[in-house]
Amino acid sequence: MDDISHKLGDLPNLSRQQLLDLWQKLCRRPAPVGLRRELLIPFLTYRIQENTYGGLKPSTRAELRRIATLLEPSRGPAKRPVRARLKPGTRIVRTWRGTAHEIFVADSGFEYQGRTYRSLSEIARKITGTRWSGPAFFGLNKRASQPSHSDGQ
């Protein structure tokens, strides 16, 4: 523990060239051109801690990749908004044709009428009898407020 604390504590005392050399050693490639010293230090701090304690969980890395893909400028505006995942215990209520439909978010999926479903779209399809985007049907994205067809209410 003292070794890592010592390494991290020394980073601000290193010259820019020493930081660049350390980057090359830890990342096995040169630092991005023009990366300021003020940014080199926190990146190197993270990398040293990652090497010592382990990195992000695969599920976290996958979620970050998904968000990054949606934010790529070459893809134009995101087709789907980036939204936080629904937390287990959340209750979603949607009225459809005069009937209130209640969904509970569980660790294993979405519970509706005593059954567990993998997606909200499956539940929306069961309720409406047609193919719907579950997040749109349940009002969880911006497009849901402006449906292109009748919502049956």
Condensed to tens digits (0 to 9), the pLDDT of residues 2-29 reads: 688 888 999 999 999 999 999 999 999 9
Residue 122 has pLDDT above 60, yes or no: yes
pLDDT for res 153: 47
- How would you class 88 by CB atoms within 10 Å of its CB: exposed for 0-12, middle for 13-18, buried for 19 or more? exposed
User: What global pTM score does this model have?
Assistant: 0.43
Q: Read off the pLDDT of each residue in 138-144 and give the average, rounded to a whole number.
A: 64
Residues found in the chain: 153
- Identify the burial level of 44 via C-beta atoms within 10 angstroms of its C-beta, where 0-12 means exposed, 13-18 middle and 19 or more buried: buried
pLDDT tens track for 57-107 = 888 888 898 888 888 776 555 455 444 577 888 888 888 888 888 998 888
pLDDT the model gives residue 151: 46
Q: Please report how many Cα atoms fall inside a 13 Å half-sphere around the Cα of residue 14, on the Cβ side.
A: 21
What are the CB-based long-range contacts (under 8 Å, 24+) for 22-29? 26/51
How many Å is the maximal CA-CA distance in the chain? Answer: 69
